[in-house]
Structure 1
């Protein structure tokens, strides 16, 4: 009898998680590491990355830190090269890093802001995935998990360009799944709802707005970063071996809220 529990084991696997020095990215990295993976902690600041690596190692987890601004082409290449040099290969990529520098009507946004959002939220995951594909092929397959948002599925207020970029990420993922399945590479999307992170502080620090949002949610509360990690651990592991091209919400019921 095969033990299903074993299929969640990530021992011997190497995972890159972008934007993993804090928030959802850090929780995802912790979840993957607790399941046995060697995790590559990555964000723009080497100091922030080193801090998380120390914390993980002190807890007995396997982690290395490689700073990378995913909007920079050379740094993306270096992230892949350094990971292969230090860890021997790549099995899992979590494209988590993203930006949302504006909040307001579509017509008020600057063209340069549009370019910046698309560069980091769509172009960077596309190119980073392309760079990692040869490494995954060498290992006989791999798992790409792109972190989008419920904003990709349902238009919110004041987040038009961010929503548009995340909707593009959904279709990118589906194409990755369709084209790269022949190499044993799976690609899926996680769409978090309102999660308590620095990234979403403008929403949850406004008590009136938070109360209004929470009243509409079946869960009646916002989510925590560690509640995103379990879905990613499933999608990264053999437990999710038949899951590809899927869009998975972890939103407290936001998408069914009236």
Structure 2
């Protein structure tokens, strides 16, 4: 599996699973666009990519819930590289709330904006260009919450269920040259997990066949599979990467 000469754009790409995918793609020969809300974090990772892998890396500050910022991100990517071969819609957000009746409109809009609105806009813009050119791959990072919704994360679950629907619909819209697939993640031990208590970890792993959370690097195999020709006959698919949640 190689990505020589390819260009990959990863949202939420400066930390967590996004960072692991950025570095994996660069290690396989891809130039990368690293997008997240904090430019400084993107710049640090871009410097590392250049020094460690000798690949070009473009850092871009972008809040994907903002339509105009999505448009600006796409414009910056094509201005720098002239193409995007792989788009990973990884940026996500799931704020806590005390009860369902206290979910405000602002929180709802923010969660839907980052997890669903942004991926739709970016996929629509880049997928259209991919289809008019040499094709490409779009990867949507979903969540087990989409099919196992719980009261404490219903806005997030609804957004990710919508993202699963987009995965299938966009595959039909942009085929045959653009493949669109999803990775439906369980609990991963990213930097966010540092705030988890032992009780939270116990709940998250109680009904998992492998009996543990995922390590961040364990997203790489699935991401590289969908990003490369290894998955040439896969589109509209959503892969569960959850350790075997019951």
Q: What TM-score does the superposition give when structure 2 sets the normalisation length?
A: 0.94
- In the alignment, structure 1 residue 44 sits paired with structure 2 residue 57: no
Are the aligned partners of 1:16 and 1:42 in contact in 2 as well (CA < 8 Å)? yes
- In the alignment, structure 1 residue 169 sits paired with structure 2 residue 163: yes
Cα deviation code 1:10-46 (max 9, x no counterpart): 1111110001110011011111111111111111121
Provide the C-alpha distance between the structure 2 equivalents of 1:253 and 1:104, rounded to a whole number of angstroms.
Answer: 29
Provide the C-alpha distance between the structure 1 equivalents of 2:169 and 2:193, rounded to a whole number of angstroms.
Answer: 29
C-alpha distance 201-104 of structure 1, shift in aligned 2 (>3 A): farther
Give 1:228's match in structure 2, choosing from 219, 223, 228: 219
- Which consecutive residues of structure 1, in runs of 5 or more, have no partner in the other structure? 1-7
Provide the C-alpha distance between the structure 2 equivalents of 1:157 and 1:134, rounded to a whole number of angstroms.
Answer: 36
Pairs within 5 Å for 1:115-134: 115-134=109-128
Are the aligned partners of 2:63 and 2:114 in contact in 1 as well (CA < 8 Å)? no
Pairs within 5 Å for 1:6-25: 8-25=1-18
Provide the C-alpha distance between the structure 1 equivalents of 2:63 and 2:204, rounded to a whole number of angstroms.
Answer: 33
SS in 2 for 1:99: coil
Match of 1:3 in 2: none
Cα deviation code 1:190-219 (max 9, x no counterpart): 0110001234455xx211231343343221
Cα deviation code 1:46-99 (max 9, x no counterpart): 111110011111212422212212122222112111111111211110000011
Q: How many residues align?
A: 245
Q: Higher mean Cα deviation, 213-222 or 83-92?
A: 213-222
SS in 2 for 1:133: helix
Q: Higher mean Cα deviation, 37-46 or 14-23?
A: 37-46
Pairs within 5 Å for 1:34-113: 34-62=27-55, 63-113=57-107
Provide the C-alpha distance between the structure 2 equivalents of 1:212 and 1:179, rounded to a whole number of angstroms.
Answer: 39
Are the aligned partners of 2:66 and 2:113 in contact in 1 as well (CA < 8 Å)? no
Are the aligned partners of 1:104 and 1:159 in contact in 2 as well (CA < 8 Å)? no
Cα deviation code 1:131-168 (max 9, x no counterpart): 11232124321110000101111123411111111001
Provide the C-alpha distance between the structure 2 equivalents of 1:104 and 1:190, rounded to a whole number of angstroms.
Answer: 29
- In the alignment, structure 1 residue 194 sits paired with structure 2 residue 181: no
